[in-house]
Structures are given as C-alpha cells and as structure tokens.
Structure 1
Amino acid sequence: MANCIDPHQPDIFMKVHVIYEHTHPHEPHSTSHIRLLRPLQHPSIANSFRLSYDTQYRSADVAIVERLWQPQTVSLEKVEALVEQIRRDNTCLIYSLDDNLLDLPKHRPSQKGLTLEQKMTIRYLVREADGVLVSTENLQQRLLGMNANVFVVPNAIDEQLLGKKAAAQPRNPSQKLVLGYMGTYTHDGDMMMVLQALREVLYKHRDTWELQLVGGISESSVLEAFAGMPWQILDVGKHGEYPNFVRWMQQNLHWDLAIAPLENNPFSNCKSDIKFLDYSALGIPCICSNVPAYQNTVRHWETGYLTDNHPDAWVEALDFMMVNHSQRQTIANRAKEYVFSQRTLQHTAWQWRDAIQTIVRNTQTARKNYVKR
C-alpha cells in the first residue's frame, strides 16, 4: 500500500483505543468488527498494539473514531468535545470511514437518519483527524480534498472465524437449487434494479430453483414485489453480531449461486467488494454488478460473473449460471482460492499496522516541526 512503511520493519508497540459506532444496545456494528476490531486483534500483528475499545474515549497513544460514532444522537457539539478531549491528551486522532455517507442517495431508507448535522460531523472528523482510514481508492479520492492523509486498507475476511465447514449432504432430487442474496437493510435500490430479471429467470426455472434472502431489504413494498416467485427469507435470529453471524452463515447458507447487485452512483462506487469476499469464502459462486466495487477484484468467468446493470444483462447472467453447474463449481473454487490466498487477515493485517504507524509518525513529525517554528 502506498505511503506505508516496510511491513518487515520491527513493530512499534502502542496503545490504540477504538471508539466504535454503536446504537442500542451498545454492541459494535458489523463494520466495527470487519474494519477495526478483528484486524487490530489479529495474531499476526498482536505485538504491535495494546487494543481497547468502547463507546467512549479512553486515554491512549492513538484514538480511532468510527463513522458516525453515535448515529442516533451525535451532534457537532459532541464530536467537537470528543476531539478536544483527545487533543488535550496529545493523542493521535484517526478517523475510520468505510462508506461514502456524504453522497448517500436520498431515496435510500437509511437516508432518513442522515441529517445535515451528521454530514457536518463527518466532514469535521475527516478534517480534524491526523489521518483517515478507508476501504477503497474511490473513497480515498472523495476525501482527499478535506484531508491529505487518507490511507486505503482494503477489507479482508478473518480466517479465524471460518472453522471447517461440514461436508455438504447429498441433495434430494426433489430439492431445489438455491439462489441467494444477503446484505444490510439498505439495499432496496440494488434489489429493485434486478427485480425484473429475477422474476423472469425464477419463473423460467421455478421447478428447479428458489431464491433465499438474508436482510438486504427494509421496505415491505419492495418485498411485496417478490410475490409469486419461489422465495423465502432466512431469519438470523439472535446471531446478528458479526462473529456469530459468520458462523451462522456457514451453517445455514447452502446456496448454489449468489448475487451482488450494486447501483452505479457516487455512493455505491465507493463501496468495497466485501459481499464477494463473504460469498467466495463460503464457496458460493456469485454474479456481481460490473461497477468499481467489483471490477478490480472479480475476474469475469474465472472468479465470478460480472454483468452490466440492465435487465437483459442480468437475465443473461442468471440464466447462464443457473444452467451451467460445472462453470459454477469452477468459479467457486477459484474465488475461494483467491480469498484464502490473498484476502484474509493473515495476509493483510500488516496493512492496518503500517497505516496506523505511518499516521502516528507523520503526526509526530508535523508536531515537532510546528514546535520548531
């Protein structure tokens, strides 16, 4: 990763405190686990940090503030007070953002909770931070005008959460093949984009395929549009917190094919390929929108199927993958090999260490130069 120190250089031990985004109850969100807690606790960099995390600030060498911190109650005044407290301790302030929340489309349900004050809070934290950690180059470019020290650390899967998966049971000849989709409850627009294609293809293959959904859709009116199709919703139940959810996925997602539709807009174009990583780690081949999130990762017909975002293209992709078992299996095997050889924390956690150490060193240098003046 550009601007980072040599990963083989001896570690610099420091206290790092994560102030993670939370609602009620005060449990870390999935993004907190994926983007901060799992990487910074990974054994491969365990000697670099003494990690603590909470919903409030604690004295440390480095404080990392995540996203909106307190989405339901955050205010610019609260965040200014937090930053002032961190500055009083002469602590290095890092801001972590994994989504382009500044350009969240207005038609999305989650936009209802994103106020002008919340956007001002994001801009304030980006500008005030000694460094910013993001998941994609597009998001880096979006923020560089507000802070010159924006570091890209791509998402990765924590291989420690993926225990040995039980061998698949022989399929009952009368049992349908499964097309799946999972995601947070902010993807109504993405699913509406492929609804026409799904209806057409699932009707055509109604005797042999069914659709299963895990999250992804928040509005009942969108769910109603699936009426008449062979589909069901899988209930995560009490397994919603990320580490438990990964184990639940392994036990319950017996999918033959998955989809990762993503709209082409300034918000989605800053997203990462995490959905592809999740599917591939589970051995599920997937069809992905041909958009920036997947273009630099998915190799068409090798590790996945890239398709343009219009109904005819999605129909063609779904139809092809549904009837070609050998192609699905080949793609699944290659994608899983890619993830476990390149995109797990055992291979990438050092990037987190190096980015944080570089921000700390740059901050120390800047402060020394300021004092000399």
Structure 2
Amino acid sequence: MKVFYWVADYSGCGYYRCLLPGSELAKRGHDVMADGRVVPDEAKNGECDVIVGQRVCTEGASHTWQKLARTARGTKLVFETDDDLLSVDPSNKAAHRFYDEDMRRRYVANMAVADLVTTTTEALAERCAEINPNVVVLPNQVPAWLLEHERPVANDLVTIGWRGGASHARDFGELARPLRQFLQHPDFRDRAELHCMGADYTPRVASNHGRTRWTGWHEAVGDFLRAVDFDLAVIPLRPSPFNDCKSDLALLEMSALGIPAVVSGYHGSPYRVLKGYADPVAHLASRASDWTDHLRYLVDNDEAREQLGKQAREWAAGRTIEGNAWRWEEAYRS
C-alpha cells in the first residue's frame, strides 16, 4: 500500500496515531509518507491507496479534504481522531477557543465524507458512528523498546510522577488536595516527592514540607519516555463526556516502563472500562481517600511496587506497535 499521513501535530497525538504506526508499516514494506502542512500532488492525483487525515478541521485543510472526497477516486480517505473534539471541556480554555462552532462544523463534515474513521476507544467510536457508521477502533500502542528500557533514578526518594499537558488542570484537581496532604505528612515528607513532567502543577501541592520538582516538555516523545524516572505514577481524570472517550495511553506508557499506577476509577473512566485487565496493573481511586490509601500502601511497600510494575509490563507487552501494526493494515485494506 501507498499511505500518506496528513499529520495535525508532531506531539503525542501525531506520534502515536500517525508517525508510530506509519513507521512500522514502512518496515513491513509499505510506501509511507507524512506531512503536517500540505497534501503532496501524488496524493491529490490519486496515486496513494490511503490518505489518513488527522482530525482535519481548519478551513484550508477542510477545503482540500472535501475536494479529495469528490475527486480522489480509488483513494481511501481515512479520518483519524483520538479525542471527542465535540465535547471539549470549557475549562480547557485554549482548546475550547480553538474548537469553536465553525471548527466543530468542519470536523463533522470532514468525518462524514470519509471512507473510514479510525479512533482509539469503543466509547469514542460510538460517538463517531453517529456521524459516519464506518468506524474502526485502533487502540494506542507503544514501541517495544519501552519494555526493556531501564528508567533513570533521580534520588533516594520514592518519586510519585504525573505526566501531561496544561489541559489537565481540572483533572489534576481530583488529586491535588490528597496528594498535598500526603506529601507534607510527617511519615512521608522525607521519603516521597512529586515529579511533574510536561505542565507544572507542583504549585498546586506545594507546602513547607512537601517535596516537588518539575521537568518541562521534551522535543520528542521518545526523549520524554527515556527521561521518566517515576517509582509510581498518578493518573487523575475528572468525570466528563470528553474524558469518558479518552484512551488508556497514560497508563500504557507507564506500564510499559514497569511503573505501577494509581488511576481515576469513576464510573465511565477509561481505566474502569478496562476493569478485568487493568486491575492487576493499577489501583483504582474513586474518592479522595482512595488516592491517600493507595499512595501510603505503595510508598511503604517496595515489593508491592515492584510486583505491580512487573504485572503492568507483562500486560503492556501485548500492546506494542510491532505486534499490532496488522490492525492498521487490516483497517486500511478493508
């Protein structure tokens, strides 16, 4: 197959949804191209078997996409989206402003004319199917090298880690108070720390005694993953229609690195939906006291952290792009 990925960004979304599967398809002998700006002439002229458009919704890109839908005979148009962009929470101010009424209208129109929609979860697929019934779920995968990577050790403290962007302000609020109380407790203030990677939420848990540090974004996803030094991860999500459609990527990354996690377990959480196989690899927190209880247990028990991390890595071994690229091949050929 000749596949062109029209990438919306080169951060996590573009990496996991386009560049990573595209690189693996290329290793399997497919002719793969990617660009974040323009569609090359050979794609416009029908010389590609598949054009994958990642959440196409800007005005200029939409004009091109709609023209391709009318003229690109013999080329399959695949609309790729990994978030419910029709339900962006107003608290995520930058994204909410960007995905205004016109942007959402074009997002729907472009999804509607695609030959196929690919996405990350069953919950999101159900919402997409209301616009286009031809939807395939391609769960996020990670590169296999993560399973062998030995994460760095920063110090002799138990490092509680959080990773993510500025859009998670309200999500972090689910955790901030119990984590602040935990970090400043006399039993743990000299034994544990919070390390934020990406957005800096350390001021939300700052106290006279609690230990925190922050590392900003890395240029490449691989560089970020190699720098993760967490002993255990916290992955809070606030209940919302947007979060109900999110994938388990944060847990998957940490699991592949052998890092045990405490995750939000509210009804509808992507981690509660995974109940049955996520249970052995993560602790579910539904109340503020759950976060404290799980943190106490994992910080106090080195063996428990090691065992949970081992189980997490064993689970993640089934979620590598090397072992699952056939899903993309099958979807594009169907």
Fold equivalence (TM over 0.5): yes
**Cα distance in 1 between the residues matched to 2:321 and 2:171:** 28
**Cα distance in 1 between the residues matched to 2:3 and 2:120:** 19
* CA displacement at 1:37 relative to structure 2: 1.7
SS in 1 for 2:127: helix
Which one has more relative contact order, counting CA pairs under 8 Å at least 6 apart?
Answer: 1
Answering whether residue 229 of structure 2 is matched by residue 254 of structure 1, we say: yes
* CA displacement at 1:88 relative to structure 2: 1.6
- Decide which of 347, 350, 354 is 2:330's aligned counterpart: 354
Please tell me the residue identity of whatever aligns with 2:113.
E
**Cα distance in 1 between the residues matched to 2:203 and 2:97:** 21
Please tell me the residue identity of whatever aligns with 2:38.
Q
* CA displacement at 1:159 relative to structure 2: 1.4
Checking the alignment, whether the CA contact within 8 Å between 2:151 and 2:229 is kept in structure 1 is no
- Decide which of 194, 197, 206 is 1:211's aligned counterpart: 194
Checking the alignment, whether the CA contact within 8 Å between 1:260 and 1:287 is kept in structure 2 is yes
**Cα distance in 1 between the residues matched to 2:19 and 2:321:** 12
Structure 1: segments with no counterpart, 5+ residues: 1-13, 23-27, 359-373
**Cα distance in 1 between the residues matched to 2:122 and 2:71:** 32
Please tell me the residue identity of whatever aligns with 1:35.
R
Please tell me the residue identity of whatever aligns with 1:235.
G
- Decide which of 50, 75, 82 is 1:98's aligned counterpart: 82
> After superposition, where does 1:212-361 map in structure 2 within 5 Å?
212-216=195-199, 224-228=203-207, 229-236=210-217, 239-245=218-224, 249-250=225-226, 252-290=227-265, 291-297=268-274, 299=277, 302-308=280-286, 310-340=287-317, 342-358=318-334
Please tell me the residue identity of whatever aligns with 1:260.
I
Checking the alignment, whether the CA contact within 8 Å between 2:55 and 2:80 is kept in structure 1 is yes
What residue is the counterpart of 2:165 in the other structure?
Answer: 184
**Cα distance in 1 between the residues matched to 2:323 and 2:26:** 9
Please tell me the residue identity of whatever aligns with 2:311.
R
Checking the alignment, whether the CA contact within 8 Å between 1:44 and 1:350 is kept in structure 2 is no
State, as a whole percentage, how many aligned pairs show the same letter: 25
Answering whether residue 58 of structure 2 is matched by residue 80 of structure 1, we say: no
- Decide which of 72, 91, 110 is 1:107's aligned counterpart: 91
Change (3 A) 1:242 1:184: same
Answering whether residue 177 of structure 2 is matched by residue 193 of structure 1, we say: no
- Decide which of 120, 136, 144 is 1:151's aligned counterpart: 136
Change (3 A) 1:141 1:302: same
* CA displacement at 1:29 relative to structure 2: 2.8
* CA displacement at 1:166 relative to structure 2: 4.5
Answering whether residue 50 of structure 2 is matched by residue 66 of structure 1, we say: no
Change (3 A) 1:168 1:131: closer
Change (3 A) 1:153 1:276: same
Change (3 A) 1:37 1:87: farther
SS in 2 for 1:102: coil
Change (3 A) 1:143 1:168: closer
**Cα distance in 2 between the residues matched to 1:21 and 1:331:** 36
* CA displacement at 1:254 relative to structure 2: 2.1
**Cα distance in 1 between the residues matched to 2:274 and 2:290:** 20
Checking the alignment, whether the CA contact within 8 Å between 2:177 and 2:205 is kept in structure 1 is no
Please tell me the residue identity of whatever aligns with 1:212.
H
* CA displacement at 1:344 relative to structure 2: 0.5
* CA displacement at 1:45 relative to structure 2: 6.5
Checking the alignment, whether the CA contact within 8 Å between 2:151 and 2:257 is kept in structure 1 is no
Change (3 A) 1:186 1:301: same
* CA displacement at 1:51 relative to structure 2: 0.8
Please tell me the residue identity of whatever aligns with 2:314.
E
SS in 1 for 2:86: helix
**Cα distance in 2 between the residues matched to 1:330 and 1:94:** 41
**Cα distance in 2 between the residues matched to 1:227 and 1:167:** 26
Structure 2: segments with no counterpart, 5+ residues: none
Count residues in correspondence. 318
Please tell me the residue identity of whatever aligns with 1:137.
E
Deviation sequence 1:288-345 (CA, Å, 0-9, x none): 111431124464652111111x3122222222222222111111001101111x1001
What residue is the counterpart of 1:53 in the other structure?
Answer: 34
Checking the alignment, whether the CA contact within 8 Å between 2:271 and 2:278 is kept in structure 1 is no
**Cα distance in 1 between the residues matched to 2:162 and 2:152:** 20
